[in-house]
Structure 1
Amino acid sequence: MADHEASTTVDVAPNILFDYLADVERLPEYLPWLTGVYPTGPRPAEAQGMEARRPQQPVHQKVEVTAVDPAAEPSEQPVHSEAWIDVVEENRSLRWGAPGDNGYHGELDVDFVADGTSRLTVRLHTTQAPDQEIDHHLHHALETIKSTIENTPPTPGDTPQA
């Protein structure tokens, strides 16, 4: 078993960063080994807003994930798997995992640092032996998130980066 953790500071307000990260269909934008994330059912009623659920109640969503192993040969086929994602808006926390014996799960937290600045922390737990390659991919994902959100101007309909 291995636990991995990495953090970075992002020059974007915490609510904007969290809204971006909580949009599960955007995961492949910053996790390059994911080639697709597809909800397997309708959006839960709890996702309609905080008034539709109890305090600290996560919005639980089941998804199907298509991924490639970053260490695999380019000719290997993508892997399809079921997974789950829990979003807790009040804490700006997102948890995820995959059912089965692999014990894989993780979480991310977005914390306030200062006006327009956030701290993003990601933790992963796997049943694999400790592996520096996983740490490398984790740091790469954080840098991709930081670069993408800091350098992408808002599009119509998005929350402006204030």
Structure 2
Amino acid sequence: MSEYERSRTMPALPELVFDQVSDLDRLDRWLPQDLHAQVEDPPAVTVHEDRTGHDVRALFEVRPEQLRAEWGTRDQGSYAGWLQVAGIGSGASEVTVHLSFFDEDHAPPREAVHASLDRSLERLAEEVRMRGEQAG
């Protein structure tokens, strides 16, 4: 099994950050750019991966009371992940994303996953910033 984790601080209340994460219509705005989620009957989604051209049946569940989202493949159980938002005071949040690949032979290189996670967290921070500006 290969596991990866990255965190980022965001200057926004945790509820605002989680609101962006849990909006299924906005997943593509912060997911890695080569992944595209099509919401079916939540929590069911289909994820298209540009790199392979494959569609994968997945689940995306949110736990608002925990400010947590969890996801994974539906059929083969080869991949899972979670994202946790935590308030760190002064109106800021820390967002941690964790990925687990259960098949070592299909796990991407560590550097590629870290770069993708960092970029996703950057995209999420930008979405949260823009949403905050629109609300203010």
Pick the TM interval, shorter chain. 0.7 to 0.9
Which digits, 9 at most, give the CA deviation of each residue in 1:76-121, with x for residues without a partner?
xx32121101111111000000123352000000001113211000
Go from structure 1 to structure 2 and tell me whether the alpha carbon gap of 1:82 and 1:129 turns closer, same or farther (over 3 Å shift). Answer: closer
Within a 5 Å distance, the mapping from 1:66-77 to structure 2 comes to 66-69=48-51
Gaps in structure 1 of 5+ consecutive residues: 44-60, 73-77, 155-159
Counterpart CA distance in 2 for 1:129 and 1:122 is 16
Q: Which residue of 1 aligns with 2:4?
A: 4
- The one-letter code sitting in structure 2 at the alignment partner of 1:139 is D
Q: CA deviation at 1:38?
A: 2.5
Within a 5 Å distance, the mapping from 1:1-162 to structure 2 comes to 1-31=1-31, 32-35=33-36, 37-41=37-41, 61-69=43-51, 78-101=53-76, 103-126=78-101, 127=103, 128=107, 131-152=110-131, 153-154=133-134, 160=135
- The one-letter code sitting in structure 1 at the alignment partner of 2:88 is V
Counterpart CA distance in 1 for 2:111 and 2:77 is 19
Which has the larger Rg? 1
Higher strand share: 2
User: What secondary structure sits across from 1:124 in the alignment?
Assistant: strand
- Percent same amino acid among aligned pairs? 25
Counterpart CA distance in 2 for 1:16 and 1:93 is 13
Go from structure 1 to structure 2 and tell me whether the alpha carbon gap of 1:40 and 1:129 turns closer, same or farther (over 3 Å shift). Answer: closer
Counterpart CA distance in 1 for 2:116 and 2:38 is 22
Higher helix share: 2
The alignment yields a C-alpha RMSD, in angstroms, of 1.9
Counterpart CA distance in 2 for 1:130 and 1:66 is 19
Give the number of equivalent residue pairs: 130
Gaps in structure 2 of 5+ consecutive residues: none
Give the structure-1-normalised TM-score. 0.72
Counterpart CA distance in 2 for 1:130 and 1:2 is 10
Counterpart CA distance in 2 for 1:134 and 1:10 is 21
Q: Post-superposition, which runs of at least 4 consecutive aligned residues in structure 1 deviate over 3 A?
A: none
